[in-house]
Amino acid sequence: MAIKLLFETALTDNSDTDIETVGTLRYEPDGKLYKWVENISASVALAAGQPVFYDQSLHATPAAMFQGVLQVATSADLSLFAGIAMSAIPYGEYGWIQVAGVSITALWLNSCSNDIPVGASLLLVSGAGALSWQADTAIMGSAPAIALVSVASGESVAAARATMLNCIR
């Protein structure tokens, strides 16, 4: 993992070449932290604001596991939340994900019958490409994504919401 001071790309750029060196961390003055990763989600473009995950099947080579991200494919990958995609990243290309700090682009939906309270631990709704809250399994303040705003129950459209991130780097 490398830390650079000067970058060739904006946070919303992506590239078909590894311009920034995969695994590079980017600290911004506002306290947010980003990581340059490859989209390894077979033939799937990642969307801006979408939660992305590390591929647990690569656990035998941890260095590789933490350099590429994917759209969650199996429940086994849910425990390896990597961050929020900063832009649309086509399959096989590189781009930035936000891994720490306040995100205003993280996509949420709330398909449960309870409101999402401020401070709730957000989880992935399987296959939805958005974070949500499960009243029966939420543990306040313990997840890598924490709700910073409240959302009414039953919202079925993914929307960008303020979220505190502290993901696996």
Nearest Cα to Cα of residue 82 among 127, 148, 145: 145
Residue 34 pLDDT class (50, 70, 90 cuts): very high
89 and 152 both lie in a single domain: no
Q: Is residue 101's pLDDT more than 90?
A: yes
Entry pTM: 0.88
79 part of a folded domain: yes
1 part of a folded domain: no
Q: Is residue 165's pLDDT more than 70?
A: yes
Angle at CA 141, nearest 5°, toward 169 and 88?
45
87 part of a folded domain: yes
pLDDT of residue 76: 56
pLDDT, averaged across the chain: 84
Reported as a single tens digit per residue, the pLDDT across 121-130 is 887 766 668 8
CB 89 within 8 A of CB 111: no
Residue 48 pLDDT class (50, 70, 90 cuts): very high
166 part of a folded domain: no
CB 91 within 8 A of CB 45: yes
Reported as a single tens digit per residue, the pLDDT across 55-81 is 877 766 777 788 888 887 655 556 688
71 and 133 both lie in a single domain: no
How many whole angstroms separate alpha carbon 11 and alpha carbon 30?
Answer: 14
How many whole angstroms separate alpha carbon 115 and alpha carbon 47?
Answer: 25
Number of domains forming the structure of the chain: 2
4 part of a folded domain: no
Percent of the chain with pLDDT strictly greater than 70: 85
Best mean pLDDT range from 51-55, 60-64, 83-87, 154-158: 83-87
For 46, phi then psi, to 5°, come to -85, 145
46 and 70 both lie in a single domain: yes
83 part of a folded domain: yes
CB 82 within 8 A of CB 142: no
What mean pLDDT comes out for the span 135-139?
Answer: 55
Reported as a single tens digit per residue, the pLDDT across 105-117 is 999 888 777 888 8
85 and 18 both lie in a single domain: yes
127 and 57 both lie in a single domain: no
97 and 143 both lie in a single domain: no
36 and 89 both lie in a single domain: yes
Q: Is residue 140's pLDDT more than 50?
A: no
92 and 130 both lie in a single domain: no
What mean pLDDT comes out for the span 82-88?
Answer: 95
- Copy the structure tokens of residue 121: 């631990």
Distance of CA 24 to the CA centre of its chain: 16
Q: Which domain holds residue 137?
A: 107-159
94 and 114 both lie in a single domain: no
